[in-house]
Amino acid sequence: MKTLHLLLSLLLLLPISESNRELFTVNAPRRVHGTVGSAVVLPCYFTFPYASYTTFEITVIWKIGVFYTGTVLFNATNRAKGQGDFENMVHTNINDRYRLVGDPRIGNASVEIKEARLDDTSEYFCRVEVKRPALPAYMKENNLGTILKITSPPVILNMSTRVVNGTQFTLVCHVQGEPSPNIMWIDPQQSRLPMNASNTPVVRGPGRYQVVGELHDPKLGGNYTCVTTNTFGNSSQVIYFASLTEGRSVLKVIIGALVGSLLAIVLIVITLAFWWRKQGTMVFTPQRERYDSAFCY
């Protein structure tokens, strides 16, 4: 009989427990956008059945990549500190880049990412755990996750000149940005060269979100400008190129200067030699002449 009463009691409690679990929800937007260098907030809101209690603990967990088994980036527990006062105890904060900006006591588990980077682009999952002594714990994670997309205006990382066999030259412009930037070249005569043509190809860069623009066999000597643009901005940088004709002219000038200097040195040496010879003839008298002069007296 006692067993029957216990079973009936458990059956009566079961709907209540399931009903409470239905009240526990976690919601986050599917997509969030941010820009490089700015703070980005990942929103997350939840409802729970213990809202009228103050003795429960709320743990907020943010993961990246995969639902449930993803890498934990942030983990903090909100708990009672005193009469009507609460505190957040941070357990995990990868690279100290995350901050709980929502108030879990009012169902807000939002976090902020400091100084967003392009490689922050990923899918994030918000998990909330509510625990209270002597009562069942509630845990829930948003299944779909939040896709964070970070964008950036183009930035020219570096420019250089590549030489093959000493005669084939290529100007290189290395750019980073998202969405993928366009690259255009302007020659020393301020003429815009065709974009992504056979002699101005744009190829994928060595890193993510990077592209490399090339200018093969530039014909003119002078300043070439790399101009890069995407929907979020633009950037430009100048590189100087000395053409083969200009290089030969400079080489001729250098050789001419060296030959002229060498001829001047030879002329000076010859002049000094003649001068020294002349001075020696005037000052010194042969030994034989001095001896004969002594007998004349």
Q: Looking at residue 23, what is its pLDDT?
A: 78
Assign 288 to helix, strand or coil: helix
Tell me: do 133 and 201 sit in the same domain: no
pLDDT exceeds cutoff 90 at 244: no
132 within some domain: yes
**pLDDT band of 263, cuts 50, 70, 90:** confident
For residues 80-91, average pLDDT: 87
Tell me: do 227 and 266 sit in the same domain: no
Domain boundary among 81, 116, 144: 144
List Cβ neighbours of 143 (8 Å cut-off, separation of 6 or more).
67
State the Cα–Cα distance between residues 215 and 241, nearest whole angstrom.
Answer: 11
pLDDT one-digit tens code per residue, 195-218:
999 999 999 999 999 999 999 999
Q: Looking at residue 201, what is its pLDDT?
A: 97
Tell me: do 45 and 113 sit in the same domain: yes
pLDDT one-digit tens code per residue, 177-196:
999 999 999 999 999 999 99
Burial (CB count <10 Å: 0-12, 13-18, 19+), residue 123:
middle
For residues 85-93, average pLDDT: 95
17 within some domain: no
15 within some domain: no
pLDDT one-digit tens code per residue, 26-74:
999 999 999 999 999 999 999 987 666 677 899 999 999 999 999 999 9
State the Cα–Cα distance between residues 16 and 4, nearest whole angstrom.
Answer: 19
Number of domains composing the chain: 3
pLDDT exceeds cutoff 70 at 295: no
Domain boundary among 125, 144, 163: 144
For residues 94-123, average pLDDT: 97
Tell me: do 280 and 222 sit in the same domain: no
pLDDT exceeds cutoff 60 at 289: no
Structure tokens that stand for 26 in this block: 């976690």
pLDDT exceeds cutoff 80 at 86: yes
63 within some domain: yes
Q: Looking at residue 134, what is its pLDDT?
A: 80
Tell me: do 68 and 140 sit in the same domain: yes
How many C-beta neighbours within 10 Å does residue 226 have?
22
Instruction: Specify the higher pLDDT residue, 80 or 114.
Output: 114
Tell me: do 40 and 138 sit in the same domain: yes
**pLDDT band of 270, cuts 50, 70, 90:** confident
pLDDT exceeds cutoff 80 at 293: no
Tell me: do 82 and 158 sit in the same domain: no
6 within some domain: no
Q: Looking at residue 84, what is its pLDDT?
A: 74
Q: Looking at residue 254, what is its pLDDT?
A: 64
pLDDT one-digit tens code per residue, 165-178:
888 999 999 999 99
For residues 127-148, average pLDDT: 91
Residue 283 structural domain: 247-296
Q: Looking at residue 283, what is its pLDDT?
A: 46
Tell me: do 120 and 45 sit in the same domain: yes
pLDDT exceeds cutoff 90 at 3: no
Domain boundary among 92, 112, 144: 144
Tell me: do 92 and 194 sit in the same domain: no
Closest CA to 23 of 58, 7, 50, 47: 47
51 within some domain: yes
14 within some domain: no
3 within some domain: no
Tell me: do 67 and 112 sit in the same domain: yes
Contact predicate 156/173, CB 8 Å: yes
pLDDT exceeds cutoff 70 at 294: no
Report pTM. Answer: 0.74
Looking at residue 73, which CATH number applies to its domain? 2.60.40.10
Tell me: do 37 and 137 sit in the same domain: yes
CA 73 to chain centre: 21
For residues 115-144, average pLDDT: 93
Contact predicate 59/117, CB 8 Å: no
Q: Looking at residue 27, what is its pLDDT?
A: 97
Return mean pLDDT, the chain: 85
Tell me: do 30 and 107 sit in the same domain: yes
DSSP state of 189: T
